[in-house]
Structure 1
Amino acid sequence: MTTSQPGVSDPPVSSAVARLRLGERTWAGLSLRDRIDLLDALSASTWQHAEEWVDIACGIKGLAADSPLVGEEWISGPYAMLSGIGALSQSLTALLEDRSPLDGFVLSSAPGDRTAIQVLPHTVFDRLLLHGFSAEVWSQPGVSAGELRDSAGLAQRRPAETGGVGVVLGAGNVLSIAPLDTLYELFAHNRVVLLKLNPLTDPMLPVFEQIFARFIQPGLVEIVTGGVDVGQAAVNHPDIGHVHITGSVRSHDAIVFGPGADGAARRERAEPLLTKPISSELGGVCPTIVVPGRWSARDLAYQAEHVVTQKLHNNGYNCVASQVVVISSDWAQKDEFLAALRVAFANAPSRMPYYPGSEDRRAKAVADHPGAERRADRVLLTDLADKDVAFTEEYFGPVLAVAQVPGQGARFLTAAVEFANEQLTGTLGANIVVHPRTLRQLGSGFDEIVADLRYGTIGINAWTAVGYLTARATWGAFPGHPIHDAQSGIGVVHNAVLLDHTERTVVHGPFRPFPRSVVRGEFTLAPRPPWFVTNRTAARTGRRLAEFAAAPSWGKLPAIFLSALRG
């Protein structure tokens, strides 16, 4: 580890990169078996330090030790990391045994000449722990199942052919992002990694050093801390061949084109200062489309909690937090749903606004909307204009907006998809909430309309963050953004099956929780999910899920089920 010192140029970066250049040779010489052993050690050390990880995360975010919200840190932290390590290890094991990492997966056709790979459920444990949830990765149009099988494994198909030294500029909001991005650079692209932590997460440095000790010692990973000067030195170092960033599009553009008016002018001319390859995950204004139907009072209340979770999980400091709820102006139950949404929004637990600039962004939302409704420490916007600023400005905090478009059924859904594609900034994640009866009425036309929705992850009766937590799914923006209009970013991460030619992940979940789901004809045993902000046992369930991901076993399932049902 190296840390910047005031008045010193960039010796932390230079010395770290020098070690990584030597480490690249070591990485090239490691067999698949060696790499699997490294992943096994990483899993063990992650679980060994998981409690410390969560304690530090709660300190950063101001969460009380006895708060159910601690579950967010267990699930989006150690659980996500451990799941990713385990799935990646299985892909390398397949390659070691001269199999495709796609062997054993169910492949089918998807609309628009795409191939779908079912990545959830994949194991019997998936079927039990996430009963009622599923996820598919869709290929780009025209890519066959055979092409996907032949290319799965990416750089690990030729492990001796390394990809140089890359820098990962870590995120400051979700603490598994930086280590998972580091793993993706190592294994998908065969690059050794300089990880620059976001200053907000600097307290995590001792934990990450211990977790990655087996990677740091031979020079496969280096971790540095510091301010903007260290990040600039890393990005511009001549021996850094690739840059990966998680953050805002403003941060991306400042790095690629330079800050201020000069940088904006270069962006308009598509003349980047940074000419190295860059990948990114940049967030955006994510929608939740609520398809009109005939809902019970309990359905209205539950889905209002669902939408509020999509906004207020981590206090809205998620790149995939829902910002604009799209409802039908013709829905007979529109006012009932909005009333339920206001109740759920007001009753959600209060949070410390730990992320820098949060108060200013919230104040700007209020200033931009004279009719803004203040609910405790959060803001609800229902007085939106045509081409409202809420459609293009990512507030990245506890601000939720409601937009209305006309129509019922397929007409509404088509209009809502067009609205999301054309008026909202970003293409990271979009959610659709639809009653099972309405889904049946829409038939195959539903999938055709969803195929038109240009987002990297689409959640249907499930928050798109389930895609983030699904290690075998892809995570990133819809493909095709140029460097001067990056929207929600370029490229994907996670993708533990190491798939090529992917376009999106589509997640499905149950409309109702167990036991009401079974009573109303949905065959799903999933209770209220532990990531809901209203879940009373989220902390206990989250810890047990992480423990299970570290070492899956049948004996751990009963305690998880019991805790989840009590939530």
Structure 2
Amino acid sequence: MTPPAKSIPRVADAASTASSPPGGSDTDVPTAERERLDAAIADLHAGARSWSHLTLAQRARLFERLHATTAASAEEWAEVAATSKGLEPGHPLRGEEWLSGPYATLVAVDAYRDSLRTLAKGGSPLDGIRTDAAPGDRLRAHVFPLKTIDGLLLSGFTGEVWFEPGVTAAEARSAAGLAQLEPTRSAGVGLVLGAGNVTSIPVLDVLYELIAHNRVVLLKVNPTQDAMVPVYERALAPLIEPGFLRIVRGGGPTGAYLTGHDGVAHVHITGAAPTFDAIVWNTGDDAKRRRREGRPQLTKPITAELGGVSPIIVVPGRWSDADLRYQAEHIVTMRLQNSGHNCIAGQVVLLSSDWPQRDAFLAALRTAYAQAPARSVWYPRSDERLDAAASDYPHAKRYGDGTRLLVEIAPDEDATALEATEYFAPVLGVIALAGNGQEFLDAAVAHANEKLAGTLGANVLIDPDTQAALGDGFERAVAALRYGAISINSWTAFAFLTPSLTWGGYPGGTLENVVSGIGVVHNALLLARVERSVTRGPFRPFPRSIPRILKTRSLSKGSLLPKPPWFVDARTGAAVSEGFTRFRMDGNLARLVRTFTQAYRA
């Protein structure tokens, strides 16, 4: 694929990277620690030999055990994660840690188990999954929901995987399985440099290395996740005991020692582009010299999931007052979930200057931004990044006791800092573009592609009538967006949480210009040659979705779900998120009914 014409996202401060940057030399790591790290890698080499002797059916049974240990650790997992982020017992946002931690892990474990079972029986993970054509000679697979319960829990939400242009259905089906098509071929030991912001990310990266690549894993956690290590060790015991996984702590020097270790065959990082560049090219004058000479310091393969500046394209239409409020709250959730410390937190709202409801929408957005529940901005040095944004835009308004910033770009104002900097903090910007209908949408897509740094995730909000009026033009615009995840009336975090979808930057990242990363993760159907994932959600929640359901005679076109539990202002979000996770733990339908009752009070 041709690399996207994108700049590397600028991060407001090096500390905002989701993985510890490398630094120092071997002598910066004490001898005793080097010996422990060497021993862990030696254990993994023995584990790699054991892994290669497991049959697919045995691997599936191993993942059944992993489900049980993860479920047993789920409550502690959510408690430790919430407390470490300043969310004390009873805080209305503690549900975020249930969903982004044990929930995300449990659904991924189950999805990998299902793929392993299918492969063990001689099938393809794509068997029984509907495929059809997407714009631009692309094939797409409709991979969510795959089970009735998924459609019930997340009513009205759907997910598609789009393959690279030219891939046929037969090719996609035969290649599904990746390394599990040759399970006895070991890829050695992989190093995962874990993210520091979301507790499931390191675990999901470990699972993908193991299943998609047949690599046993050394996981180095980010120092912000040190408190999670005992939880990880209990939850992941079925992988640790036979030597398929080792978990270590450490900062930059430890990361530098491990990336250069002869016993490590591959590196995967979830973080930010400056960290990736430091690993691959070093820093300072040496990095400049290496780039000129085309001689990276890292000589082994590396994959990466990195951040960027995520757009939220608001397509003008005729919206009710309730629509304006709901979608304003939707945008605020995209920015403020996890205090904005997310690689796909929505950062730039692209709004039509010609939309008659523009002022009303902005008023609703300001109100929602101001009234969202207070929370700590917990990631290291986030206050400095907020101050940097305030310095870039002195007219920006602070909300939430000064912990969140709203930047409304004035006509002819320079938006470069907002468009090029991944603030990784509660900074939300609004940029106006001219036009209505297809004219606006095409301009917004071009702006997102050409002006905003990164290619990880893009969001589009559009009412059903406007989308119907645009017809094929809307789908062509979606195809034109150069992003690895695109969410229509949903948030790209839904793509992150859905294991049958892929997660990563748009194809084309290179060592020289990594943009939002190289390769994908999650991808529990183990699909090859994937270009992007697309999610679609309901524009209106229940009960306002009822007319749409009756008109189309299809639940997939509407929703029985009221305000989703991940909305930051959902009154029962914490209870519902915990309830959804507990259902994934034990399948207790009676308790799920009670959870749905709570959901309707959101």
**TM-score relative to the length of structure 2:** 0.92
The residue number in structure 2 matching 1:462 is 490
SS of equivalent residue, structure 1 residue 545: helix
Aligned equivalents of 1:539 and 1:549: distance in 2? Answer: 16
The farther-off stretch of 555-564 and 534-543 is 555-564
Amino acid at match of 1:349: P
CA contact (8 A) 2:29 2:253 kept: no
Aligned equivalents of 1:488 and 1:53: distance in 2? Answer: 29
CA apart distance, 1:486: 0.7
Amino acid at match of 1:436: P
Is 1:338 matched up with 2:362? yes
Aligned equivalents of 1:185 and 1:553: distance in 2? Answer: 31
CA contact (8 A) 2:107 2:584 kept: yes
SS of equivalent residue, structure 2 residue 600: helix
The residue number in structure 2 matching 1:491 is 519
CA contact (8 A) 2:409 2:432 kept: no
The residue number in structure 1 matching 2:98 is 74
Identity %: 50
The residue number in structure 1 matching 2:11 is none
The residue number in structure 1 matching 2:220 is 196
Q: Match for 2:335 among 311, 332, 336? A: 311
Compared CA separation, residues 126 and 283, structure 1 to 2 (3 A): same
Is 1:179 matched up with 2:203? yes
The farther-off stretch of 58-67 and 375-384 is 375-384
CA apart distance, 1:482: 1.1
Deviations 1:128-169 (A, max 9, x none): 111111010000000011111101111111111011110000
Aligned equivalents of 1:174 and 1:404: distance in 2? Answer: 32
Q: Match for 1:380 among 386, 390, 406? A: 406
CA contact (8 A) 2:409 2:415 kept: no
CA apart distance, 1:270: 4.2
Structure 2 unaligned blocks of 5 or more = 1-27, 552-556
Compared CA separation, residues 55 and 143, structure 1 to 2 (3 A): same
CA contact (8 A) 1:253 1:267 kept: no
1:544-559 matches, within 5 Å, as: 544-552=579-587, 554-559=589-594
Amino acid at match of 1:488: S
CA contact (8 A) 2:155 2:561 kept: yes
1:52-91 matches, within 5 Å, as: 52-91=76-115
CA contact (8 A) 1:285 1:426 kept: yes
CA contact (8 A) 1:266 1:272 kept: yes
Amino acid at match of 1:379: L
Compared CA separation, residues 203 and 34, structure 1 to 2 (3 A): same
CA apart distance, 1:178: 0.2
The residue number in structure 1 matching 2:307 is 283
What RMSD over aligned residues (CA atoms) do the two structures have, in Å? 1.4
CA apart distance, 1:12: 2.4
The residue number in structure 1 matching 2:317 is 293
The residue number in structure 1 matching 2:569 is 534
SS of equivalent residue, structure 1 residue 411: helix
Deviations 1:423-442 (A, max 9, x none): 00000000000011100100
CA apart distance, 1:262: 2.9
Aligned equivalents of 1:420 and 1:237: distance in 2? Answer: 39
The residue number in structure 2 matching 1:414 is 442
Aligned equivalents of 2:545 and 2:289: distance in 1? Answer: 54
CA apart distance, 1:266: 3.1
Deviations 1:60-97 (A, max 9, x none): 10002101211100001100000000011000000111
Aligned equivalents of 2:396 and 2:35: distance in 1? Answer: 49
CA contact (8 A) 1:432 1:460 kept: yes
Is 1:100 matched up with 2:133? no
The farther-off stretch of 60-69 and 267-276 is 267-276
Q: Match for 1:477 among 474, 484, 505? A: 505
CA contact (8 A) 1:268 1:484 kept: no
1:12-91 matches, within 5 Å, as: 12-91=36-115
CA contact (8 A) 2:576 2:599 kept: yes
Aligned equivalents of 1:552 and 1:158: distance in 2? Answer: 33
Deviations 1:461-517 (A, max 9, x none): 000110011110000100111111111111000000000010000000001110011
The farther-off stretch of 481-490 and 426-435 is 481-490
Structure 1 unaligned blocks of 5 or more = none
Deviations 1:364-394 (A, max 9, x none): 0000112111112100011353452110110
Aligned equivalents of 1:280 and 1:12: distance in 2? Answer: 26
CA contact (8 A) 1:105 1:118 kept: yes
CA contact (8 A) 2:353 2:433 kept: yes
Aligned equivalents of 1:467 and 1:268: distance in 2? Answer: 37
The residue number in structure 1 matching 2:597 is 562
Amino acid at match of 1:199: P
Aligned equivalents of 1:41 and 1:411: distance in 2? Answer: 53
Is 1:153 matched up with 2:177? yes
SS of equivalent residue, structure 1 residue 194: strand
Aligned equivalents of 1:479 and 1:99: distance in 2? Answer: 28
Q: Match for 2:541 among 485, 501, 513? A: 513
Aligned equivalents of 1:503 and 1:556: distance in 2? Answer: 39
Q: Match for 1:119 among 143, 146, 149? A: 143
Q: Match for 2:578 among 540, 543, 552? A: 543
Aligned equivalents of 2:274 and 2:298: distance in 1? Answer: 15
Compared CA separation, residues 554 and 146, structure 1 to 2 (3 A): farther
